[in-house]
């Protein structure tokens, strides 16, 4: 169960980005993960709910999108969804393929709400 | 109030992966082959490393970093044979690069030919953590059953070699070497497959020969004339 260490890593990156953007409250975080990302979505979500408040100082919503595992054939360039972890090109049967999406946990975006108007902006 | 969405699109582990790549390059360039050994608990990692140390004694230099949640029992077994440092994760289910680097420093960062990292017994979490290894080897023991690769796809997809251990028990178990090999190669068609019994030291010299080949290959790769 290494989801906690990944969530902690994620939250520290979010904190840094938010600080660089003027320290507003982080309201929402969007994350993409595929079936080869090495996380279990439910455990990731639970770890996030546990750890977001203590690290960010306020509750925050996690949108976790599970993306399909996609590979590209090194022989014929065919791109396909890997089903049941069978890494073989369905077109030319080559077994030399590489993953193009679905083997990472990706921080896609964060939504920040600043109480004060941005520098130079008056409302 | 100003609400803004900042687009990031970044691998959460990007920094860790970059650090691992840099460390891999450093160790490879100076002639150390790093081998990350993974398996479920008790598949025979430490026993294989003991046999490997006996085989390479006087021929190749090696050191071991061994990870466990608690205790230094594995280090006590290996230390009489080779320089060994126990990495205790204090409950964490896998090793991460900073702890490995601490261990390497504790060893005195020796320029050995082979640096083995015995990971925490677990087929899930260690798969997601790059420890700067050049070679990732997953062990499957005959007592675990031949259906394991499909259940832990990331581990097998990210490994270069699978070693089937405890083959001395094959006569007593419904375990098929062909079946486990086929299952694993659905996931990783390029997987190298070896089988051995570390307890009876059968197949150990083939394993060491395999390591020697990998070592020579790496040496050649770093000494190509055009290498920058
Ligand atoms: N029959 C048989 N038993 C073995 C063999 N290799 C290891 N064992 C036994 O399996 C048990 C576990 O071996 P270890 O080498 O401690 O396994 P490990 O993977 O290092 O275990 P952890 O570090 O705790 O995950 C021990 O009782 C070993 O004696 C083998 O080739 N044949
Ligand atoms: Mg052990
Ligand atoms: Zn193809």
What's the predicted TM-score (pTM) here? 0.92
Q: What is the pLDDT of residue B93?
A: 87
User: Which has the closest alpha carbon to A5: B66, B159, B9, B95?
Assistant: B95
pLDDT at A120 over 60: no
Q: What is the pLDDT of residue B36?
A: 98
Calpha distance B72→B85 (Å, rounded): 9
Which chain B residues contact residue A87 at CB under 8 A?
Answer: 157, 186-189
Q: Which residue blocks in A23-83 are alpha helix, DSSP H?
A: 41-56
Confidence of residue A118 (pLDDT cuts 50, 70, 90): low
Residue B156 lies in a domain: yes
pLDDT at B227 over 50: no
Tokens 């639970």 belong to residue: A46
- Whichever domain contains B142, its CATH number is 3.40.50.300
pLDDT at B56 over 90: yes
Higher per-residue pLDDT: B82 or B223: B82
Calpha distance A93→B207 (Å, rounded): 31
- Residue B111 token pair: 């320029």
pLDDT at A117 over 60: no
pLDDT at A123 over 50: no
Q: Which helix (H) or strand (E) holds B2?
A: strand B2-11
Residue B9 lies in a domain: no
- Residue A67 token pair: 């993306």
Residue B95 lies in a domain: yes
Domain tally for chain B? 1
- Domain around B173: 15-214
pLDDT at B116 over 90: yes
pLDDT single digits (tens) A63-99: 999 999 999 999 999 999 999 999 999 999 999 999 9
Phi, psi at B99, each rounded to 5°: -70, -40
pLDDT at A121 over 50: no
Ligand 1 center–CA B199 separation, angstroms: 8
Report all structural domains of chain A as residue ranges with CATH numbers, in order of start: 2-117 (3.30.2320.80)
Q: What is the pLDDT of residue B226?
A: 52
In this complex, is the C-beta atom of B128 within 8 Å of any C-beta atom belonging to chain A? yes
Residue B224 lies in a domain: no
Interface predicted TM-score of the whole assembly (ipTM), two decimals: 0.88
Ligand 2 center–CA B88 separation, angstroms: 12
Calpha distance B137→B43 (Å, rounded): 12
Residues with CB under 6 A from ligand 1: B 39, 41-47, 74, 121, 165-166, 168-169, 197-199
Residue B221 lies in a domain: no
- Closest residue by Cα to atom 3, ligand 1, is B166
Residue B192 lies in a domain: yes
- Residue A7 token pair: 């969530």
Residue B151 lies in a domain: yes
């Amino acid at each position: 169960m290494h989801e906690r260490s990944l969530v902690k890593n994620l939250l520290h990156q979010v904190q840094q980005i938010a600080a660089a953007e003027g320290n507003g409250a982080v309201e929402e975080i969007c994350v993409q993960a595929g079936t080869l990302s090495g996380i279990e979505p439910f455990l990731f979500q639970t770890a996030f709910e546990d750890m977001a408040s203590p690290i960010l100082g306020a509750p925050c919503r996690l949108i976790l999108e599970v993306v399909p595992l996609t590979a590209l054939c090194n022989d014929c360039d065919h791109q396909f969804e890997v089903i049941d972890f069978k890494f073989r090109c369905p077109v030319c049967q080559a077994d030399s393929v590489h993953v193009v999406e679905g083997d990472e946990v990706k921080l896609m975006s964060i939504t920040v709400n600043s109480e004060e108007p941005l520098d130079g902006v008056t409302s | 109030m100003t609400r803004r969405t900042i687009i990031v699109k970044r691998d959460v582990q990007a920094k860790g992966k970059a650090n691992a790549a840099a460390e891999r390059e450093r160790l490879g360039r100076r002639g150390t082959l790093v081998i990350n050994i993974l398996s479920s608990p008790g598949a025979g990692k430490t026993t294989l490393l003991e046999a490997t140390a006996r085989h390479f004694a006087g021929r190749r230099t090696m050191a071991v970093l061994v990870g466990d949640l608690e205790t230094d029992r594995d280090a006590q077994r290996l230390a009489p044979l080779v320089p060994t440092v126990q990495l205790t994760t204090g409950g964490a289910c896998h090793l991460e690069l900073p702890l490995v680097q601490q261990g390497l420093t504790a060893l005195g960062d020796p320029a050995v030919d082979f640096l083995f990292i015995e990971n925490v017994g677990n087929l899930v979490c260690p798969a997601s953590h790059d420890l700067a290894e050049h070679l990732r080897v997953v062990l499957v023991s005959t007592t675990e059953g031949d259906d394991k690769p499909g259940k832990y796809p990331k581990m097998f997809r990210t490994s270069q070699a699978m070693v089937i251990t405890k083959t001395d028990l094959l006569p007593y178990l419904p375990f098929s070497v062909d079946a486990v090999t086929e299952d694993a190669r659905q996931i990783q068609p390029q997987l190298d497959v070896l089988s051995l019994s570390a307890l009876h030291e059968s197949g150990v010299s083939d394993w060491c020969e395999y390591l020697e080949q990998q070592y020579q290959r790496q040496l050649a790769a770093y000494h190509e004339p055009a290498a920058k």
